Amino acid sequence: MRYLPIAVKLRDRCVVIVGAGKVAERKISNCLDAGAKVYIVSPKATPNIRRLAKNKDVEWVKRRVTRSDVRGARLIISATDNKAMNNYVRQWGKEFEIPVNVVDNSKISDFISPALLRFKKALIAVYTDGKDPVLSRDLKNYIRGNWDDFVSYRNRS
């Protein structure tokens, strides 16, 4: 499958995240960095997500997701290990014409999230078309580890 790498404006837009585990933490962080209003639906959450909710950085609803939770969202990210729930979320996204990312199933997702690196003057996204997330992570770490050398080299020119 091929993807078009684009950047989506999310400032003040609602992103619904289903699930509140470690994978969801990374997705939440990226959405908050983009200025999104993050709405999380999950019966349980990691300590970091509970802290974000307590500080009012995100809204967390402590229950299973329902169809009405996704209505009006700009994007939906389903970060659960429950395949049946992910399929429901995917169906609701189709019904409301909202793009859905099921984090562990690029085949049924409308979009994938790249590995992101944020620097002062650059945002770098690393994709492998959803085929090799470990390669994406390794490339991201390689770029991060060599960024200062690149900037120094560039500044000498």
Q: How far is Cα 73 from Cα 86, in angstroms, rounded to an integer?
A: 16
Query: In terms of residue numbers, what domain contains 120?
Result: 115-156
6 within domain boundaries: no
pLDDT recorded at residue 111? 93
| Residues in the chain, overall count | 157
> How many domains is the chain partitioned into structurally?
2
The predicted structure's pLDDT at residue 138: 93
Q: How far apart are CA 76 and CA 15, in angstroms?
A: 6
Q: pTM (2 decimals)?
A: 0.90
Q: What is the pLDDT of residue 1?
A: 60
| Residues 39-70 pLDDT 10s | 999 999 999 999 999 999 999 999 999 999 99
CATH number at residue 49: 3.40.50.720
4, part of any domain:
no
Q: What is the overall mean pLDDT for the chain? A: 94
Instruction: Name residue 24's amino acid.
Output: A
Block means of pLDDT (10 residues each) for the chain, length 157 residues?
85 98 96 97 98 98 98 98 96 98 93 88 86 88 93 86
Identify whether the C-beta of residue 60 lies closer than 8 Å to the C-beta of residue 35: no
Residue 57 counted as domain residue: yes
